Structure 1
Amino acid sequence: MSGNSSKPTVGALPDTTAESPSVPAVLTWLVWSLFAASIAALVVRIRIGGGWEVPGVIAVDGLTVLMWAVVTFFSGIVHSYSRRYMAGSTHETKFFVTTFGFTVVVMGLVAADHLALFGLLWLAMGLLMAELVGTVSGWDQARAAAAVARRYFVASSALLGVALAALWWATGAATVSGIGAAADTLGGPVWLVAAGALVLAAMIQSALIPFHSWLLSSMTAPTPASALMHAGFVNAGGILLTRFAPVVTVDATLMLAVVAAGAASASGGKLLKSVQTDIKGKLGCSTVGQMGFMIMQAGLGFFGAAITHLILHGFYKAYQFLSAGEQVEHTTPSETTEHTVGRTTSAVGVAVALLTGLAGGVVFTVLTGKGTDVDGGLLLTFFVVFTTLHAARSAIQHTSLPPTARYAAVPLAFFPAIVVYAVVYEGVAGLLTVSTATTELTPLHGVIAVGFVAIYVAIETGVHEHSRRLYVALLNASQPSSDTLLTSTEDYNEY
């Protein structure tokens, strides 16, 4: 970096952690203490049951203690990682204070019962994440990215405010639990405004298409902040829909619309990822798609599955971002360079994938009881198996195994993954107080499933690459805000 020693030796930077301010060390210790306390609360909840509350203000239930444990774990990892990553930065203390504040706000949000408190914490969560996106205030691009994110988050908070006000007007209840208890009385235009605003607020916060621009414009954030964003912040949409499940499940048509919105983002994220060339861009588009799956599961009425998906995706995406540097390889493309999409799939590979998927569906059905009837459970099983199988195949394809060995490796990676998914789902569903609202399948559900599979197959076989117009459209749709683009190293050299 400019201004540093011109010694030609390349190697590890000196350990400057010991020279860092005391604030990072103290906050790292505090967040791990919160994690230990959250695990204790989760164990107590599992063993004893029940909940704790300050009537009319906060209510600690199964979802609360589960999210406490998940959020503090991710935050603890980010804090510990950042002790080395942010060492020597002039923004180190600001970063740690903001990250810890974000953690505390999210912990408060999942416990909030009063509508005003819930709305204020939702707004605070977004503003703190915007601050993390613009941590390095000396970069014009970082300030622009923070401004983009802030606009989206304020819009999400405004929509949530409209929803909460409408629900208070319709039910007379000033708490989330009170609205849930009065959900049977909801209906009509006021309910439609409230439910529609809730869904839109969730879509914005979870960066679903067409609200994904803020996420793809946030690459100026320090890598640990990106990990916290993709592993935790974007999950807020699923938590919001779960908290207000009694409201959004009033009408089957709205639930179908939620499924359609989730499916559009799931397939759209896959398409956008296919034209990305940088690591963080690919991860961002992957998050757009995965959040689509989460919202789709909520639309099917399986809120436990949505929470399960956000937890497992959080672990995966946190690891992907924190290890992003290891994936950067400077190589010169050649005629033998393997494409990331459009691979030629052999008949044996297709047969192995189909048989593995069918067997995995049976395993998931046996472990969870979902998929035995022609209802939303069948579609849930299909999408869980589909996404898990895709993840297993992607992991195997990036290894150095010969093609014949990959055929055997796919089931070996897939079956443990589907078992873990099913076990975690059962555990999460047991903690939630929200009952499963199984939906009746309609022809539109079938159209959504068929359309998703068709898009996936087109990408995997490279059909979409034959259309220059589609390529340009996808490239344009995946572009971040022009003010946030980093075009040279001088743009982001804070030293």
Structure 2
Amino acid sequence: MSGRTSKSTVGALPDTTVDSSIVPGALTWLVWTLFAASVAVLAARVRLAGAWEIAGVLAIDGLTVLLWVVVTFFSGIVHSYSRRYMAGTPHETSFFAGIFGFTAIVMGLVAADHVALFWLLWLAMGQVMATLVGSVRGWKQARAAEQVARRYFLASSAVLGLALATLWWTTGSTTVSGIAAAPAGLGGPVWVLAAGALVLAAMIQSALVPFHTWLLASMTAPTPASALMHAGFVNAGGILLIRFAPVLTVDPTLMLAVVVVGALSALLGKLLKSVQPDVKSKLGGSTVGQMGFMIMQAGLGFFGAAITHLILHGFYKAYQFLSAGERIEQTSPGTATKQAPGVVGLAATVLTGIGGGVVFAVLTGEGMHFDSGIVLVMIVVITTLHAARSVVGQMSLSAPLRYGAVPAVFVPAIAIYALVYEAVSGLLGDLPIVAAPTELTVVHGLVVGGFLLAYVAVDTEYYERSTRLYVTLVNATQPPADTVLTTRREYNEH
């Protein structure tokens, strides 16, 4: 805030002038080198066809190289940001080892073809992330949050292990690609067990309701770790579903169940975010909702759209977390105002959304037929419009200018979304299933209606008129009590 000449601090600030380990600098250089190499591999993959694999162990396809580029880019940003953020802290070296190790594990995971290797890397990914959540060893709350996260991630790994073992036994194949190539042999109670376990593992890892507690408890993690978690780790659920898309698409009923599961988290995430008192918790609630949208897209049969969503959400959420301190600095209680949008605002929002939906449909061809593509367009419109309104909401604009600013931000944004979707779908062309639209049902109609009602209720702040609903939402967002920092004294890690 302008005009301030001093800042109140808790405890002594770290001494950033002392000699520090060469590890942070070396790992930062190495991860950016991996990013450059990943870009080169992606360019080669676009030009060269054919299988790149170590038979039965690793398989490098379009999804692999695309995620290598995305993961190393996010990780490079986090490494560079952490050079200053973590400077002088007693756990600086171990923190950098953790985020680099996490990056290497994820790069291995998206290339793993043997089911045992895939499972081991999934397990390792969760355990490293749990350690990052508890990076600040001086906080008992951080240690408690680490244990909460570790239990959830172990549960996800156990459920995934059950799914992979069942699929191995059913198909006789020891590889992910082999299982994906044998959907004709799937069905019956054994398939239900395997497919249900895959969806459950994805739900836990992506912090969908009711497994969102670990994410809300993870706010003790250093902000760079939170950025990596929300921009990368939670996306593992979507990656899991696209890898095993042929297993999930065997029965339309399961796909419909995935839509419902994602829809509930998308709606509740929107509501949970609205009652959060701090910046990071609001972003956590937003992530719950966005992961719900991603899972919905997979359930609709648009796996390429799910990957597009996780990439774009990753960019948006990484920026939001790494700039969280700036948002706090620019906000004061006395200047915060709440204004209901009113009839004109709602009308402008609806017209803007319709226009954006038309743009997306024209550029992608989705939503032109009477199938789940119509719901996909609605999801993209809602998420992109929400992001555009958030950006405009941070500007000091009068109401008339705001009505014009939202479309000015939203229409180019949804056009970019559509173009990225087309590019991603092209890169994923060597996967067994990229898009498998499903027939529209009454359930899809109910989901659409529920979304519209919920978003109107939140945007008009109608939910605040019900004390019972507000209290219920507040209670539903409370992480375990032993993970919450309650006094200023507890924030001193030095």
Please give the alpha-carbon distance, in whole angstroms, between the structure 2 residues aligned to 1:332 and 1:401.
18
> Which residue of the partner structure matches residue 483 of structure 1?
482
Measured on the aligned residues, the alpha-carbon RMSD in Å equals: 1.7
- Give how far 1:367 is off: 0.7
Please give the alpha-carbon distance, in whole angstroms, between the structure 2 residues aligned to 1:492 and 1:366.
51
Look up the equivalent residue of 1:217 and give its one-letter code.
Answer: A
What SS class does the counterpart of residue 84 from structure 1 fall into?
A: helix
Please give the alpha-carbon distance, in whole angstroms, between the structure 2 residues aligned to 1:203 and 1:346.
36
Moved over 4 A (4+): 8-15, 329-334
Please give the alpha-carbon distance, in whole angstroms, between the structure 2 residues aligned to 1:212 and 1:305.
23
- Give how far 1:19 is off: 2.6
- Give how far 1:138 is off: 2.1
Please give the alpha-carbon distance, in whole angstroms, between the structure 2 residues aligned to 1:477 and 1:96.
33
The answer (yes or no) to whether the contact 1:265–1:288 under 8 Å persists in 2 is yes
> Which residue of the partner structure matches residue 133 of structure 2?
133
Please give the alpha-carbon distance, in whole angstroms, between the structure 2 residues aligned to 1:368 and 1:265.
26
> CA 1:362/1:332 → structure 2, altered by over 3 Å: closer, same or farther?
closer
> Which residue of the partner structure matches residue 394 of structure 2?
398
The answer (yes or no) to whether the contact 2:126–2:153 under 8 Å persists in 1 is yes
Please give the alpha-carbon distance, in whole angstroms, between the structure 2 residues aligned to 1:54 and 1:17.
47
> Which residue of the partner structure matches residue 4 of structure 1?
none
CA offset digits 1:97-121 (Å, max 9, x no partner): 1111000000000000000000000
> Which residue of the partner structure matches residue 271 of structure 1?
271
The answer (yes or no) to whether the contact 1:297–1:305 under 8 Å persists in 2 is yes
The answer (yes or no) to whether the contact 2:14–2:87 under 8 Å persists in 1 is no
What SS class does the counterpart of residue 76 from structure 2 fall into?
A: helix
Counterpart among 353, 363, 368 of residue 367 in structure 1 = 363
> Which residue of the partner structure matches residue 48 of structure 1?
48
The answer (yes or no) to whether the contact 2:298–2:305 under 8 Å persists in 1 is yes
- Give how far 1:386 is off: 1.8
> Which residue of the partner structure matches residue 233 of structure 1?
233
- Map residues 256-267 of structure 1 onto 2, 5 A cutoff: 256-267=256-267
Look up the equivalent residue of 1:139 and give its one-letter code.
Answer: W
Matched, 1:348 2:344: yes
Counterpart among 381, 387, 390 of residue 377 in structure 2 = 381
- Give how far 1:459 is off: 1.1
- Map residues 320-359 of structure 1 onto 2, 5 A cutoff: 320-329=320-329, 333=333, 337-339=336-338, 343-359=339-355
Once the two structures are overlaid, the 10-residue window that deviates more, 350-359 or 413-422, is 350-359
> Which residue of the partner structure matches residue 166 of structure 2?
166
Please give the alpha-carbon distance, in whole angstroms, between the structure 2 residues aligned to 1:44 and 1:194.
36
> CA 1:36/1:346 → structure 2, altered by over 3 Å: closer, same or farther?
same
> Which residue of the partner structure matches residue 281 of structure 1?
281
Please give the alpha-carbon distance, in whole angstroms, between the structure 2 residues aligned to 1:468 and 1:491.
31
> Which residue of the partner structure matches residue 243 of structure 1?
243
Unmatched segments (≥5 aa) in structure 2: none
> CA 1:18/1:373 → structure 2, altered by over 3 Å: closer, same or farther?
farther
- Give how far 1:332 is off: 6.5
The answer (yes or no) to whether the contact 1:208–1:291 under 8 Å persists in 2 is yes
Matched, 1:492 2:488: no
What SS class does the counterpart of residue 53 from structure 1 fall into?
A: strand
- Give how far 1:137 is off: 1.6
Once the two structures are overlaid, the 10-residue window that deviates more, 376-385 or 103-112, is 376-385
Look up the equivalent residue of 2:148 and give its one-letter code.
Answer: V
> Which residue of the partner structure matches residue 5 of structure 1?
none
The total of aligned residue pairs comes to: 484
The answer (yes or no) to whether the contact 1:45–1:51 under 8 Å persists in 2 is no
What SS class does the counterpart of residue 425 from structure 1 fall into?
A: helix
- Give how far 1:489 is off: 2.6
> CA 1:115/1:460 → structure 2, altered by over 3 Å: closer, same or farther?
same
> CA 1:9/1:285 → structure 2, altered by over 3 Å: closer, same or farther?
closer
CA offset digits 1:424-454 (Å, max 9, x no partner): 0001111112331110010010001101110
> CA 1:287/1:115 → structure 2, altered by over 3 Å: closer, same or farther?
same
Please give the alpha-carbon distance, in whole angstroms, between the structure 2 residues aligned to 1:486 and 1:15.
24
Please give the alpha-carbon distance, in whole angstroms, between the structure 2 residues aligned to 1:482 and 1:154.
21
The answer (yes or no) to whether the contact 2:180–2:247 under 8 Å persists in 1 is yes
> CA 1:329/1:55 → structure 2, altered by over 3 Å: closer, same or farther?
same
> CA 1:19/1:9 → structure 2, altered by over 3 Å: closer, same or farther?
farther
What SS class does the counterpart of residue 59 from structure 1 fall into?
A: strand
What SS class does the counterpart of residue 426 from structure 1 fall into?
A: helix
Once the two structures are overlaid, the 10-residue window that deviates more, 453-462 or 212-221, is 453-462
Please give the alpha-carbon distance, in whole angstroms, between the structure 2 residues aligned to 1:332 and 1:53.
55
Please give the alpha-carbon distance, in whole angstroms, between the structure 1 residues aligned to 2:140 and 2:14.
29
Please give the alpha-carbon distance, in whole angstroms, between the structure 2 residues aligned to 1:391 and 1:275.
18
Q: TM-score, normalised by structure 2?
A: 0.95
Matched, 1:211 2:211: yes
> Which residue of the partner structure matches residue 419 of structure 2?
423
Please give the alpha-carbon distance, in whole angstroms, between the structure 1 residues aligned to 2:329 and 2:79.
27
The answer (yes or no) to whether the contact 2:160–2:201 under 8 Å persists in 1 is yes
> Which residue of the partner structure matches residue 461 of structure 1?
460
Q: TM-score, normalised by structure 1?
A: 0.95
Please give the alpha-carbon distance, in whole angstroms, between the structure 2 residues aligned to 1:417 and 1:490.
43
Look up the equivalent residue of 1:159 and give its one-letter code.
Answer: V
> Which residue of the partner structure matches residue 113 of structure 1?
113
Once the two structures are overlaid, the 10-residue window that deviates more, 302-311 or 461-470, is 461-470
